[in-house]
Amino acid sequence: MFEGFSGTRIEVSSVGINLVQGGAGPPLLLLHGYPQTHAMWHKVAPQFAGHYTVVAPDLRGYGDSGKPASDDLEDFCKRTSAQDQVEVMAALGFERFHVVGHDRGARVGHRMALDHPERVRSFTSLDVVASQAAFDNMNRDLAYSWFHWHLMRQPSPFPETLIGNSAEFYLDFLLGQWTAVDGAITDEAYAEYLRCFSDPETIRTTCMDYRAIAVDLVHDEADRGRKIACPMLVLWAGNMARRPGWQTGGTLDMIGSWRERAGDVRGRALDCGHFLAEEAPDETAAEILAFLSGC
């Protein structure tokens, strides 16, 4: 994976961030989601690298990036994770850049676009409804599909113990239920996800990431009504038959949730499941490249 890319580790304020970098041109930051690592971009990163300098890190608490020993939710909130990535890009010499986020990475990107508008040229969200919209409209359908949110928010060590009892079984359930295109996750990528996810520290810190929604929602409430200034692209899963209620429950509209939070929003559903960059890589890359060309 990532042929022609180079790997490095950058120390930021409180953690080391593992990343790969490749290509040439304007900087493009790719932020992965749960339960994955930067490896989720391996099918689309080479396509982006023909036009952009691509930076694909592991978020704090994930992959081979640092895993703070802290039990302070502020150390795992999206504001802190966004600050990590701003510092990473600055260390690489990039003061302003495009951001593409999937899942948790999109939540980090959202916070980054609000906290650091001078840094973010454009923001692309892959298959997430805005956190505030989801929790404002939580119903039985959304609660069912987001069972992992409610499990992982429970006090330590309850979720850590349950997940750690069989990390592989839990990972396989998530990947299987959230994927609509069988075989989309390659053996090489799966091996990397399993390697990282099997680390008890990863289980602990990813639970902390989900618990930090308590802090994230406080930050979101302070910014209620404030809109993202940069152009925004929203792409989402059009086939979640295996996980009814995914992201929007019975009442929410994916792009509508973002139009309440950004002034310039476009996008559409793709015929795949949650892992767009792996299930529909060519279509995902084409949509993002077309969007970026106008930003």
Catalytic residues: 103, 274
Residue whose C-alpha is closest to residue 281's, from 30, 44, 54: 44
Half-sphere exposure of 291 (CA within 13 A, CB side): 27
For residue 14, CA distances in Å to 1, 20, 80 come to 29, 20, 10
Sign for the pseudo-dihedral over CA of 112, 114, 118, 124: positive
Residue whose C-alpha is closest to residue 9's, from 43, 38, 45: 38
SS3 253: coil
Max distance between CA atoms of the chain, in angstroms, equals 48
